[in-house]
Structure 1
């Protein structure tokens, strides 16, 4: 069910699912009842209360939602909480998990960092929101995503994104213009003073992970961050 899972702070865990957990998205044409069953099973495996894991309607923007118990599902690409369990869904974009201690307990964040989000600064926006809640030293875990060797884009698009985030410029393994989103994310986190503690595998190259570039009729796996006893 988990591609990777670890305790990242005292009483805080992070994980990224794989295809064994099944599709966790409601927007890809899957049976909604089955998706909800999978989400419920995931919550049980995490030790999270039923319907306690919060998802967002991701739109490739830069909005950051502050999540509290009972907050409605936001239209956003980042969520920040003081312990509310968070999930981000992807199938080539980067699922970024962030965590830090504060005087009031852990501050958590989950970020959907695709090409538009990287270019427009969704990751720094999430870090700033965490700091506004008193977060101390923030650490980041970058989940599996398409790598710079596999993410081919037109040269004009490469130039457009690299003008905003130079570290994204790459060349594919077959010699064409590419974008290295993980490198771009790491550069933004480094500029924000955030340590990157983990970077996952390439989704396109890993059969146990969903990849939109490999199969457009695919599901979504999740990045998860939550508190526990």
Structure 2
């Protein structure tokens, strides 16, 4: 009798335990349903703290906006391959290109001695007349006088007048008047060349020519970008 009562008591306890266990699992799933994706999650109350950007954050945002802003329609995009590169500032000068051109000429020179008298003429546009020079052509020839002398050539200046012209503005020894220039100028070689212009710049073709037989004893080519030529034209333009 006691044994039967004990079995009934154990059975009742087992049934109640299973029931409690099932209720516990069900409650756990109900409490964690909010963690399932797609369902609303309980957000804790705000702490009252708010982030305010400082000046560095503002400058960073402004710089990013300027970098992402496309160029204005009035300027548009200029292809450097077609229109040439135009830097805001450059350390290059025309005498740097003249030095490079003189070096190339002397590297290719044949039958040219230090005793030969060399005159430097202006570079002209490669057109039908071959009589049209530019600011670039005149300044390049002036720089070449000094650059070729550094290689030991005997360079002469055929623009020297027959006499010294004293004026209120200065004492003038050079002239472009053919009558005032010396009629007998002994030259063995002449440095000259042509200019081929395009949208990107100017191609300079230089050569040293023997006067007696017109043989080319040296030749060189050089490309000068458009921004350098433009700066020369702006400097030579008369003031309004």
- Report the TM-score range of the alignment, normalised by the length of the smaller protein: under 0.3
So what's the TM-score if we normalise by structure 1? Answer: 0.24
Q: Which has the higher helix share?
A: 2
Q: TM-score, normalised by structure 2?
A: 0.23
Higher relative contact order (CA 8 A, sep 6+): 1
Pair member with larger Rg:
2
Bigger proportion of residues as strand: 1
